[in-house]
Amino acid sequence: MNSLYPRFLQSLIIVLLPVLLVIGSVRLLNTDEYLTFEYGKTSFPADPFGFDRSQRVAYAGVNFRYVRGNQPIDALAKLRLGDQLIYNARELKHMQDVQKTYQMTTRIWHFALGITLLAGLALAREVETRPALLAALQAGGLLAVGLIAVTGVLALIAWRFWFVAFHQVFFAPGTWSFNNSDTLIRLFPEKFWFDAALTISGISLAGGLSLALIGWWLRPYQSSVPAH
């Protein structure tokens, strides 16, 4: 086999593994179970305007399902508390932007997953290229660990800068800031996003480290297998 071909496949895996780990971690958090866990923390701030824990879980769950399931905006626009709509026009517009961003990243994740699996299978088919696959797992895992560690530390020491920079990358200026009395802030205060950022970092770090250890642990055994 041409030596450039396995190196190309190896490079694809290395580059795509951090993408898979981070977006995969985000997808894991977009669940009702995570909402229940997060709102159940004693450290999570109460809503000063009156939402109790069960209301937060219920309304945020509808929000998550709207984003995750690519539902029409009516799923949120018709939500009421008593005789009042809970979202204003600016909040609904932002949620449409969030849904588009989430769906785009989901498509990227599926594409990256498919490419990574195909590249991995291609390297695994031949005995002489299997060490390249294991090396890719090790290098890709370590790359993910390094990138996510830097991002996580930045979030810890400069959270407000990190939070603003994140939104400026994905959303147009002036479309993502709201009043403290708006429903989105009442459901998702900065504490929610701070915890989510650390949780995503933790899951991604664990995944990257596991892949790196698997690649490192298996490489000597694979290298010792005689070619036929």
Contact yes or no for 91/175 (Cβ under 8 A): no
Neighbours of 222 (CB within 10 A): 15
Q: How far apart are CA 128 and CA 6, in angstroms?
A: 10
Tokens of 101: 């961003």
3-state SS, residue 85? strand
Q: Facing residues of 81 across strands?
A: 84
Domains held by the chain: number: 1
Crossing angle of the two packed helices 32-39 and 190-223, in degrees rounded to 10: 120
Q: How far apart are CA 211 and CA 182, in angstroms?
A: 42
3-state SS, residue 81? strand
Low-confidence stretches of the chain (pLDDT < 50) are: 225-228
Q: How far apart are CA 73 and CA 227, in angstroms?
A: 58
Please give the residue range of the domain that contains residue 118: 4-223
At 225 the pLDDT is: 47
Q: Is residue 126, in this structure, part of any structural domain at all?
A: yes
Element containing residue 23 per DSSP (H, E): helix 4-29
At 218 the pLDDT is: 83
List alpha helices for 69-181, DSSP H.
Answer: 74-77, 89-125, 130-157, 159-170
At 84 the pLDDT is: 92
Q: How far apart are CA 73 and CA 70, in angstroms?
A: 9
Q: How far apart are CA 120 and CA 73, in angstroms?
A: 39
- CA-based nearest residue to 163, from 145, 180, 146, 176: 176
At 110 the pLDDT is: 97
Q: Is residue 228, in this structure, part of any structural domain at all?
A: no
At 228 the pLDDT is: 40
- CA-based nearest residue to 108, from 178, 23, 174: 23
Element containing residue 8 per DSSP (H, E): helix 4-29
Q: Is residue 67, in this structure, part of any structural domain at all?
A: yes
At 222 the pLDDT is: 60
At 221 the pLDDT is: 61
Question: How many angstroms from the chain centroid is the CA of residue 197?
Answer: 9
Residues contacting residue 204 through CB under 8 Å, at least 6 positions apart: 18, 21, 22, 24, 25, 144, 148
Q: How far apart are CA 90 and CA 185, in angstroms?
A: 12
At 223 the pLDDT is: 55
Q: What pTM was computed for the model?
A: 0.90
Q: Is residue 89, in this structure, part of any structural domain at all?
A: yes
Q: Is residue 208, in this structure, part of any structural domain at all?
A: yes
Q: Facing residues of 80 across strands?
A: 85
Neighbours of 52 (CB within 10 A): 11
Q: Is residue 119, in this structure, part of any structural domain at all?
A: yes
